[in-house]
Structure 1
Amino acid sequence: MKIATKAALFSAIVFPGAGYFIVEKRVRGAVAFAITLAALSVLMVEAYHKAQIIAEKIVYGVIPLDIQVIREQIVLTPGHLSPETATYLSFIVGAVWLVGIVDCYRIGLAQQRITSVSNKTCP
């Protein structure tokens, strides 16, 4: 498998920024990894907080065990973050993911070109 394809697939499937380690751009990979991990951590803490509140309401009989009611409660339950902030963090994760895929593919192609040119010039 060509390095460009491998790097893009690693960034797409394994974790955002993982492909940078394939093309030996470790600092970029670490930055993409850190940004994604931080944003996902904040979103998971928010989801956990809301889930705890909703679970307590179900246990105490405040809301029924009905998927429609629970779905409404997810939207209505206040959390630590505003909905706009949660959306913003989600877009950051998506942007880092997509940029990482494209950039890893681009870097991999450049490395393939350099390798093929050096192989042609060497006897």
Structure 2
Amino acid sequence: MHRAAKAALLSAFICPGSGHFYLRRYNKGTLISCCGLLGVGFLLVQAVHQAKNIVNEISQGNISLDLNEIYALVSQSSNVTNTMWVNVATLMFAGAWLYGVIDSYRLGRQDEQSLSHI
């Protein structure tokens, strides 16, 4: 398998930026990994916070153990500011992931072409 394909697959399936580490582009790989992981981390913190709020409501008896009622609470957004930051974090993760895949493939192709000219 070619280096470009391996790098793109690493970035696609392991972690954004891992293809850059494979290609020994450590600074760029670190930046992409940090952006992707910060986005996912924020989303996980928000999901846990929302789950804790729903569990507290259930334990206080404000919400019954009806699946439809719980689903409605999970589906609704808590506030506009929170929704904006969730969207920013989602775009940050998706952008880092997509950029990591495309750029690692591009860099891998450049490396392959430079090695073939030698």
- Name the larger-Rg structure: 1
Q: TM-score, normalised by structure 1?
A: 0.87
- The answer to whether the 8 Å contact 2:4/2:104 transfers is yes
The residue correspondences of 1:1-123 to structure 2 (distance < 5 A) are 1-76=1-76, 78=78, 82-118=82-118
5+ residue gaps, structure 2, are none
5+ residue gaps, structure 1, are 119-123
- d(CA) in 2 for partners of 1:85, 1:40: 12
Structure 1 SS opposite 2:24: coil
For residue 53 of structure 1, what is the amino acid of its counterpart?
A: N
Cα RMSD of the aligned pairs, angstroms, is 1.7
- The answer to whether the 8 Å contact 2:16/2:33 transfers is yes
What is the CA-CA distance between 1:11 and the residue it aligns to?
Answer: 0.2
For residue 41 of structure 1, what is the amino acid of its counterpart?
A: G
What is the CA-CA distance between 1:37 and the residue it aligns to?
Answer: 1.5
What is the CA-CA distance between 1:61 and the residue it aligns to?
Answer: 2.1
What is the CA-CA distance between 1:36 and the residue it aligns to?
Answer: 1.4
Count of matched residue pairs: 118
- The answer to whether the 8 Å contact 1:19/1:29 transfers is yes
For residue 108 of structure 1, what is the amino acid of its counterpart?
A: G
**Runs of 4 or more above 4 Å deviation:** none
- The answer to whether the 8 Å contact 1:50/1:77 transfers is no
- The answer to whether the 8 Å contact 2:77/2:83 transfers is no
